[in-house]
Amino acid sequence: MSKSKSIRLSVVALVGTLAAGAVFAQDARVAQQIKYRQGAYTVLGAQFGMMGAMASGKAPFDANAFRVAAERAAFMSTVVPDVFPAGSDVGNTKAKADIWKNQAEFQKLMTDLRDKTAALSAAAKTANNVDAVKAAFGAAGQACKACHDKYKAD
């Protein structure tokens, strides 16, 4: 094999390796974004789980624990709109591709979630009993459900 042909083959092999590495890096970045998104929703869901147990009477109402969970849910609702970057619609995710196709509607639902969890957090700050937070909890739960119904795969 001639020296110039050997150099060309080496360059082609290098370019192929770099391209494969770029694809792998892209796949790893997307997988990390999805993992971050799933973690954010795990935290949000855990807060709703604790509050839901109290709101339904399955757990005794603890005003302080409910307040803390409501504050965490309100904070997480400010994080979750940012965990859907372009390109993270593929891979191990339950997020429907419609999120990226209907960004205006999706962001409207995210704003509603943020507003409803903020109202829940405000209600929880002064709640002495479960009845004082049930309406706000129900509204926040409906905001979650509205998005899940439209944009989360089963």
Our measurement of the distance from residue 8's CA atom to the centroid of its chain's CA atoms, rounded to an integer in Å, reads 46
Complete domains list, the chain, with CATH: 3-151 (1.20.120.10)
| The model's pTM | 0.81
The span from the CA of 26 to the CA of 77, in Å, is 27
The position carrying tokens 């429907």 is 96
Start-to-end CA distance of the chain, whole Å, equals 57
Nearest Cα neighbor of 64 from 75, 80, 74, 50 is 50
Q: What is the C-alpha separation between 134 and 81, in angstroms, rounded?
A: 25
pLDDT tens digits, 63-83: 999 999 999 999 999 999 999
pLDDT at 27: 76
DSSP secondary structure letters along 28-46: HHHHHHHHHHHHHHHHHHH
